[in-house]
Structure 1
C-alpha cells in the first residue's frame, strides 16, 4: 500500500505540531498538520494541550542560567566529580 502524500500518521502529526510550536515547521508540514487536525480528535487534543503548555511557559517568566554561570557550574561539577574518581 502506497503512503499518501498529504495524509500523515498521528506520530508524524505530533512531531510537526512540536516543530510548529518553535516555528520550525515548513509550509507543507503545516498544511499536512491542518488536514490531520480537521478529522483526528487525538491530534487535536495533543495540539490543544501543546498550545496550553506553550502559553503557560511564556507566562511563567522562568529565569535561566546565563552561559557564563552555566559554564562555571559545569566546571565546579567536573572538579567535584574528579575528586571521587
Structure 2
C-alpha cells in the first residue's frame, strides 16, 4: 500500500491527467482504506472543477504596463 504522501502526489497528477493507470489503481485502493485521503481527493477534485468553471482572465502585458504607468507616473525633470 502507498503512503498518504504518495497518494496526495498521485491525486494531484490525476487531476491534470498526468497519472499512469497503475498509479490511479493504487490511489483508488488507498482511498478505500484511508478516510483522510478520500476527503483530500474529493476536495481536490472540487477545487479543480471550480477553477475550471471560473474562467479566470489575466491582464495582457500592455494593460499591465498601462496600469503601472498610471499608478507610478514618471516624474518630469526640468
Task: Quote how far apart the aligned CAs of 1:64 are.
Answer: 3.4
Task: Quote how far apart the aligned CAs of 1:63 are.
Answer: 1.1
Unaligned runs of 5+ in 1: 1-6, 74-85
1:37 aligns with 2:31: yes
Counterpart residue number, 1:25: 19
1:61 aligns with 2:55: yes
Cα distance between partner residues in 1 of 2:46 and 2:5: 19
Moved over 3 A (4+): none
Cα distance between partner residues in 2 of 1:12 and 1:64: 33
Unaligned runs of 5+ in 2: 66-78
Task: Quote how far apart the aligned CAs of 1:59 are.
Answer: 1.0
Root mean square deviation of aligned Cα = 1.9
The alignment of Structure 1 onto Structure 2 pairs a total of residues equal to: 65
